Amino acid sequence: MPYRFLRYIPKNHLSRVVGRLVHARLPRPIARRLVRWFADAYEIDVSAASKPIDDYPSIGDFFVRDLREGLRPVEGDFVSPVDGVLRSFGTVFGGRLEQIKDKSYGVAHFLGDDGNVTRYENGAFFNLYLSPQDYHHVHSPVGGNIVRSVHIPGKLWPVNDWSLGNIDELFSINERVVTYIEGSLGMVAVVMVGATNVGQISVVYDSFVSNRPSVDRLAIRDYDPPVAIAAGARLGTFNMGSSVVVLVEPGRIDLRRVRLEAGQKVHYGSAVLHAGAR
């Protein structure tokens, strides 16, 4: 695909249009065929869904499907927030995060807050990618209290391998929602990053949604009292595939104890660290 031509396409507007189309209510026989076509095209395990595939009235409703209860047990106090692929993990260094080998992006711009550059310096990051095949709800990687959110409007470039290698500061350019959770691992930042065809990012603890033409500036919300959340509890939802980046303060976990590997498929609720490790 000639991705370079995406520079000239109004990606945010396109994503809103796609969002409306995939959620459009169609006659039931047509909707069934389209949902089945989508599931087959992306080789989705429909047996994991909470409802039979023919019960979904649109591709959009199937895309944000729930899973069968009990299918994803929560295995610890620091877990994967999504079903997806662990693209990379490592140490925050020099105020930068690894995007791909020999390419990085700045923490301050990414989080929309200069004050957090030092907070996460020498801490850990985890970058997870959700494909259209995956379940698209996002869950909390830790238990604690949600104390702040930051909504940062931006572009909606794809977050595929081509974009990782060709778009500088990709994750700092795209629209994103940052959730700060204070708990036993300090202040953990969970960043939901939008992408092309992500018509909306929503969160369970607030009413705002992303990718609206009327929202064009950074918005910071502090929660007093804070909002309690358990590890593995639902945090938010993507309406198409994208990425989640988790940042942990220095000294909280030992990356040598990570039980996962870069490039590995993961499920939400899966333990990130070996049992008993920090």
Q: Where are the alpha helices (DSSP H) in the chain?
A: 11-22, 28-41, 59-63, 107-111, 116-120, 161-166, 170-173
Marked catalytic residue, from 139, 210, 243, 267: 139
Strand duo 186-193 + 84-91: pairing: unpaired
Is 242 among the catalytic positions?
A: yes
> Exposure of 37 by Cβ count < 10 A (0-12 exposed, 13-18 middle, 19+ buried)?
exposed
Q: How far is Cα 234 from Cα 217, in angstroms, rounded to an integer? A: 26
Sheet of strand 264-266, all strands in order from the earlier edge strand to the far edge = 219-229, 144-152, 176-183, 186-193, 243-248, 124-129, 84-91, 264-266
- Contact (CB, 8 A) for 135 and 97: no
Marked catalytic residue, from 77, 80, 83, 202: 83
Look at residue 8 and give its three-state secondary structure. helix
Marked catalytic residue, from 242, 243, 267, 270: 242
Is 83 among the catalytic positions?
A: yes
Is 114 among the catalytic positions?
A: no
- Contact (CB, 8 A) for 201 and 185: no
Amino acid type, 162: W
Residues with Cβ within 8 Å of residue 34, at least 6 apart in sequence: 26, 58, 59
- Residues involved in catalysis: 83, 139, 242
